[in-house]
């Protein structure tokens, strides 16, 4: 199947980034969210991102306009009738995702592949909410989507080779590199990343070092582009906690228990960049 029309559910940070990258690669994109306000906010962010490229001389104003013209905004899920491939990037909430997949299954043409950008919900569980589990797959982009080269592609038990191959071709068309992961809690990226972030938070909690020392160790000592506490703020502390809970419950190993300090921050509403306060202030 040659994917031409690409649906994106959710116009937030991840969905907007995915829509931008897809439209830049030449795909015709339908960007959906539940309210006009959310869709508009997503489009403003995409436009601002592309404008940075124009200002830096990396693309022309005409190219920017052409990319934006390939994105059709939508607040009605029925618009997905036209999609060959849909990626869902809604809130990281099981019930919301189950509902969206059941609706997409009703609305989308039989040929369409339904992907989820979930960072931790099992793909097999999402697939079982549809009558096309063989056409359901995980397509996990990294934040910030326009910059990060990786897409983790997660195969659930029923996912067919055909679905997998089409997804890999699409990832490559979008200029990204795929990494295949099996459908176990946290897949690969977060199974490796989150224990590091959690350990950094434990170091802060136990007074082994202060925030700046912890982040400097990983930035200057290991050449990470940002320290683990700054990265946790970028990901969102609520998302970090949700992923750690998934690893802890799903794998049953105490090494994944979330640090009590992380819980406290989330309970205080200090969620990182998105709320203006996390381990840093913004
Ligand atoms: N959207 C689009 N572009 C962005 C951006 C954003 N939010 N943030 C930065 N950029 C672009 C900048 O425009 C700049 O582009 P050019 O090279 O074309 O000029 C480039 O990225 C570098 O940006 P900066 O110079 O401003 O800053 P930097 O060099 O410090 O890079 C960073 C910023 C890319 C975020 C870098 O610090 C980094 O790579 N950090 C680690 C990010 C990471 O680990 N992400 C994965 C998170 S885990 C995840 O997403 C999975 C999950 O499920 C939780």
H or E segment to which residue 51 belongs: helix 36-55
Mutate-to-test residue for ligand 1 from 14, 55, 147, highest number of ligand atoms within 8 A of CB: 147
Let me know if 32 is a catalytic residue.
Answer: no
pLDDT, tens only, 193-238: 999 999 999 999 999 999 999 999 999 999 999 999 999 999 999 9
What is the CB neighbour count within 10 angstroms for residue 69?
A: 10
Q: In which residue are the tokens 């060959």 written?
A: 84
158: tokens are 């029923």
Tell me the pTM.
Answer: 0.95
Q: Kindly provide the ipTM of the predicted complex, given to two decimals.
A: 0.95
Considering only CA atoms, which of 192, 119, 121 is closest in space to residue 151? Answer: 119
Structural domain count, the chain: 2
pLDDT tier at 47, thresholds 50, 70, 90 = very high
The CATH number of residue 215's host domain is 1.10.1040.10
* 56 carries a ligand binding annotation: no
| Per-chain mean pLDDT for the chain | 97
Residues 13-40: what's their mean pLDDT? 97
Considering only CA atoms, which of 278, 13, 20 is closest in space to residue 119? Answer: 13
pLDDT at 99: 97
CB of 101 closer than 8 Å to CB of 131: no
Atom of ligand 1 nearest to the CA of 189: 51
* 10 carries a ligand binding annotation: yes
Q: Omega before 264 cis (within 30°)?
A: no
227: tokens are 């320290």
CB of 102 closer than 8 Å to CB of 130: yes
- Does the residue 282 lie in any domain? no
The verdict on 154 and 225 lying in the same domain is no
CB of 89 closer than 8 Å to CB of 60: no
Atom of ligand 1 nearest to the CA of 240: 54
State what percent of residues in the chain have pLDDT above 70: 100
The verdict on 125 and 197 lying in the same domain is no
Domain that holds residue 64: 5-182
- pLDDT over 90 (residue 73): yes
Q: Which of 182, 212, 236 is the last residue of a domain?
A: 182
pLDDT tier at 251, thresholds 50, 70, 90 = very high
pLDDT at 4: 95
The verdict on 222 and 253 lying in the same domain is yes
pLDDT, tens only, 134-144: 999 999 999 99
Q: Which of 182, 210, 245 is the last residue of a domain?
A: 182
């Amino acid at each position: 199947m040659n994917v031409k029309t690409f649906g994106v559910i959710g116009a937030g940070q991840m969905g907007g980034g995915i829509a931008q990258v897809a439209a830049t690669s030449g795909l015709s994109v339908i960007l959906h969210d539940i309210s006009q306000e959310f869709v508009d906010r997503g489009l403003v962010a995409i436009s601002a991102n592309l404008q940075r490229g124009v200002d830096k001389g990396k693309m022309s104003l005409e190219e920017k306009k052409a990319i934006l013209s390939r994105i059709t905004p939508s607040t009605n899920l029925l618009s997905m009738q036209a999609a060959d491939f849909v990626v869902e990037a809604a809130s990281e909430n099981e019930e919301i995702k189950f509902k969206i997949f059941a609706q997409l299954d009703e609305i989308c043409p039989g040929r369409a592949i339904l992907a989820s950008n979930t960072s931790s919900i099992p793909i097999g569980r999402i697939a079982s909410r549809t009558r096309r589990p063989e056409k359901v797959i995980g397509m996990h982009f990294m934040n910030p989507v326009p910059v990060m080269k990786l897409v983790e592609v997660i195969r659930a038990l029923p996912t067919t080779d055909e679905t997998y191959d089409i997804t890999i071709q699409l990832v490559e068309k979008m200029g990204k590199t795929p990494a295949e992961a099996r459908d176990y809690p946290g897949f690969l990226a977060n199974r490796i990343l989150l224990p590091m972030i959690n350990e950094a938070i434990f170091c802060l909690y136990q007074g082994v070092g202060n925030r700046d020392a912890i982040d400097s160790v990983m930035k200057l000592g290991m050449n990470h582009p940002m320290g683990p506490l700054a990265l946790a703020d970028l990901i969102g502390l609520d998302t970090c906690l949700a992923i750690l809970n998934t690893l802890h419950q799903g794998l049953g190993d105490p090494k994944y228990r979330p640090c009590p300090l992380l819980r406290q921050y989330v309970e205080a509403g200090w969620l990182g960049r998105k709320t203006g306060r996390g381990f840093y202030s913004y």
